[in-house]
Amino acid sequence: MELTVLAGTDARQIFQHVRRIIEEATQKQEIISEVDVDEAGEEVLEILAARSLFIGKRCVIVKNLFKNEAVADAVYAWWKTEKQRNDQLVIVVVNGEKTTAHPMLAYAKKQKYITTYDLKSAGEEVGRREIYQFVDEYLTGNTTRVLSEYASLTRRGVKAPELFWALHFQVRSMVSVLEYARKGISEVEIIERTKLHPYVVGKCVRMSRTLPPGFLTRTLSRLRDIDLKIKTTPSQFDDVFLQFLLTA
């Protein structure tokens, strides 16, 4: 398993590099997963270990790993036994995480798997919360606000593929959760079956109550059409995604 550690104090530089990794993985048709250990905790191991005959190479981006020493130890132990896997693991370390003593970081540095950003100017960091806000605005049907958020985020360096996959993940999750909910399955069981974080499942249920019938399935179908289209013409991604937002 290919290992990359992006570490340093310049959050903007680090997340720009993450976005480049996402773009490259998208062009290579890799499956992209992003997980924040602050939210997922030990579930990060389940995400890393997931296998399927129908899934090709995966790119898994893990944030805030070293804030949880027990999880970091478990991930490092798992990674050492799975080096032969044809996947990519990206560890993102920003600012105040206490990492210097952790053997995984020391190993990555020794093997030159680590890219360090230690610039004095931190620049303007676009947080995940702002990207989630963009997704929420789309799901509320506020086209004017969606386009405003899109323009603001892209102007500050966020690439269209990152926004696309954030929206794709949320819509796909909501469709899965609702399918189970309609069958009378409890939230606890839905969490177990989907492996989604409890907060994500609860949010999916709450948001779905305000959406028109069929909206989510139509949106997911359109997103899948975009995914197929950009695999043949990746240079047109921005235009295709913007047209999607304009015709929400």
Instruction: Give residue-wise pLDDT tens across range 5-35.
Output: 887 766 666 777 787 788 777 777 778 888 8
pTM of the complete model: 0.51
CA 34 to CA 17: how far, in whole Å? Answer: 14
Rg (CA), the chain: 19
Angle between helix 128-139 and helix 160-182 axes, rounded to 10 deg: 60
Comparing 85 with 190, the larger pLDDT belongs to 190
Q: Please write the tens of the pLDDT for every residue from 90-133.
A: 888 765 555 556 788 777 777 767 766 543 332 334 456 778 88
**Digit-coded pLDDT (tens) for 218-243:** 999 999 888 887 767 766 788 889 99
Domains of the chain, each with CATH number or no CATH: 2-117 (3.40.50.300), 128-246 (1.20.272.10)
The helix-helix angle for 198-208 and 160-182 (nearest 10°) equals: 80
Q: What is the pLDDT of residue 116?
A: 61
The closest of 79, 144, 78, 90 to 115, measured between CA atoms, is 90
User: Which amino acid makes up residue 169?
Assistant: F
For residue range 27-67, list pLDDT tens digits in order: 777 788 888 888 888 788 887 776 544 456 788 888 888 88
Q: Which amino acid is at 148?
A: S
Residues 6+ apart with CB under 8 A from 70: 42
In tens, the pLDDT along 135-187 reads 888 988 888 889 988 988 888 777 788 888 889 888 988 898 989 988 999 88
The whole-number pLDDT of residue 221 equals 93
Phi (first) and psi of residue 192, to 5 degrees? -65, -40
**AA identity, residue 52:** S
